[in-house]
Amino acid sequence: MFVEFLDSKLPLSLRSNLLELFSQIEREFENLYLENIELRREIDTLNERLAAEGHTFDGADLAKGALKTKASHSTSQLSQKLKTTYKASTSKIVSSFKATAARAVCQLVKEYVGHRDGIWDLGITRNQPVVLGTASADHTAMLWSIETGKCLLKYMGHQGSVNSIKFHPNEQMALTASGDQTAHIWRYMVQLPTPQPVADVSQTPCEDDVDFSDKDEADGEVEGPIDCPSIRVATTMLRSHQGVVIAADWLVGGKQVVTASWDRSANLYDVETSELVHSLTGHDQELTHCCTHPTQRLVVTSSRDTTFRLWDFRDPSIHSVNVFQGHTDTVTSAVFTVGDNVVSGSDDRTVKVWDLKNMRSPMATIRTDSAVNRISVSVSQKIIALPHDNRQVRLFDMSGVRLARLPRTNRQGHRRMVCCSTWSEDNSTCNLFTCGFDRQAIGWNINIPSLLQEK
């Protein structure tokens, strides 16, 4: 198809980009063709149904308005569906050209090394001092200086893998969930070290990466951090679960927390009394994640049963729940974003963007080549970060357009499965953090050209 490129004078990288764009266009038009066939079948089915009711029509009848209200309404729906399909697909193709014309730039700024096992989760404090927190399978959680990469504090109160870490919205308190079937709340005090000059790391276009090998590189022996203070006793211990506590989060205001467990339930606790307020049951299999809304008393839980559930605690007398069945495999996480959107990721290799006001079908679907782990969404830039089993991290906008892929070579990036990502809205040095089973967290500076943000 592209034999003429053999004698082209264009640089190899530009030719590759053009070939990739042509492939995307071909795929889009193939999808349009298949959707067109399906819509044609729907029209034929409508014709048959109307004929059975004594109504027949063709293009001329439509123009003359001879159809009754029911037929007109159905045809209008099909027409609107066709318009929406073509508009969305064309927009995708145009966005792909935009993404190539103004490419994102990704810079690896800092590596945070010190855990002795894989890192499951990470988070950023919501108040000063701003530090990075990591939760590891080595039974510890650590707090790090973002600028220097130095460990500031280690929490050693759990007897099992630490599966998640979240910070209180107003106070210096952390919430960790563990394989020891408990969640702990603990207070911390840290002194930030004097910032050091950031090493001059060349800026790398996010997709100009070369994965030199599909084999996992060997991990060297990682020494623990030196002179890192530790805490061994929790302020509060939450003990009601009968299985691994896989995730936990603070409700708005920080007076209650929610935990998600492999015992198929999520629990709502009062922080001051540590009493169980509600047990949220209904999932058919183990829970994988939970997330709270930043400004409303809403909770979303994810599960291996391929669903995620929205729990509404805004009315104290009514605790409603909605079940959403948009995936075909384990839902690894579902998170709230600004406004009324929820984004869900799954082992079925898709990410879906939902509108809380109309969650019968997703607003956008992102299809990838690998299982998706704990996703995060940048509030300010409205960018979704997708960490994958295949060691890649990809960035998409809320409409499902791919923006970038973080560099992953044998010199930088993750060497094992990437478990989680989180954004920092207030840090100018690093605005995206990722962690994985290579026992390290990485701080990135992501620069998305303004062209990509135009809607």
Helices 69-101 & 12-52, crossing angle to 10 degrees?
Answer: 180
Q: Which of 315, 243, 255 is nearest to 283 (CA)?
A: 243
- Lowest mean per-residue pLDDT among 32-46, 66-80, 156-170, 299-313: 66-80
Under DSSP, is residue 184 helix (H, G, I), strand (E, B) or coil? Answer: strand
Greater confidence (245 vs 67) lies with 245
Q: Which of 39, 121, 132 is nearest to 85 (CA)?
A: 39
Distance CA 388, CA 106 (A): 17
Q: Are 431 and 437 in contact (CB under 8 A)?
A: no
Q: Specify if 355 maps to a domain.
A: yes
Per-residue model confidence as pLDDT tens digits over 88-112: 444 444 444 444 435 678 899 999 9
pLDDT of residue 6: 54
pLDDT of 221 higher than 50: no
- The single residue listed with the structure tokens 């006793």 is 233
pLDDT of residue 369: 95
pLDDT of residue 90: 47
Q: Which of 226, 377, 389 is nearest to 364 (CA)?
A: 377
Per-residue model confidence as pLDDT tens digits over 8-42: 777 777 777 788 788 778 877 777 888 778 777 87
Q: Specify if 360 maps to a domain.
A: yes
Q: Are 166 and 124 in contact (CB under 8 A)?
A: no
Domains held by the chain: number: 1
Spatial neighbors of 53 by CB under 8 A, at least 6 apart, are: none
CB neighbourhood size of 62 (10 A): 14
pLDDT of residue 53: 63
Spatial neighbors of 74 by CB under 8 A, at least 6 apart, are: 46
Q: Which domain holds residue 408?
A: 105-188+226-452
Q: Specify if 269 maps to a domain.
A: yes
| Identity at 431, one-letter amino acid code | N
| Identity at 200, one-letter amino acid code | D
Q: Specify if 53 maps to a domain.
A: no
Q: Specify if 396 maps to a domain.
A: yes
Share of the chain above pLDDT 90, in %: 58
pLDDT of residue 13: 72
- Lowest mean per-residue pLDDT among 73-77, 232-236, 262-266: 73-77
pLDDT of residue 199: 52
Q: Specify if 48 maps to a domain.
A: no
Across the range 38-51, mean pLDDT stands at 77
- 447 HSE (CA, 13 A, CB side): 12
pLDDT of residue 340: 84
Q: Indicate the burial class of 343 (C-beta count within 10 angstroms; 0-12, 13-18, 19 or more).
A: buried
| Identity at 264, one-letter amino acid code | R
Q: Specify if 62 maps to a domain.
A: no
Cα angle vertex 212, ends 395, 21, to 5°?
45
pLDDT of residue 204: 60
- The single residue listed with the structure tokens 């009968």 is 242
pLDDT of residue 380: 84
Q: Are 418 and 388 in contact (CB under 8 A)?
A: yes
- β-partners of residue 393 are 387
Distance CA 21, CA 333 (A): 31
Distance CA 181, CA 174 (A): 17
Q: Are 278 and 319 in contact (CB under 8 A)?
A: yes
pLDDT band at 63; cut points 50, 70, 90: very low
Distances (CA, A) of 78 to 2, 36, 212: 37, 11, 48
- Lowest mean per-residue pLDDT among 3-17, 183-197, 346-360: 3-17
CA 10 to chain centre: 37
Q: Specify if 198 maps to a domain.
A: no
Spatial neighbors of 303 by CB under 8 A, at least 6 apart, are: 264, 283, 284, 285, 286, 287, 288, 309, 330, 331
Instruction: Give the CATH number, domain containing residue 137.
Output: 2.130.10.10
Q: Which of 331, 151, 336 is nearest to 246 (CA)?
A: 331
| Identity at 110, one-letter amino acid code | K
Average pLDDT, the chain: 82
Q: Which of 365, 364, 423, 363 is nearest to 393 (CA)?
A: 423
Q: Indicate the burial class of 241 (C-beta count within 10 angstroms; 0-12, 13-18, 19 or more).
A: buried
pLDDT band at 205; cut points 50, 70, 90: low
Distance CA 193, CA 159 (A): 30
Per-residue model confidence as pLDDT tens digits over 315-351: 877 778 899 999 999 999 999 997 789 999 999 999 9
Strand order in the sheet with 119-124: 119-124, 132-136, 141-144, 151-155, 230-231
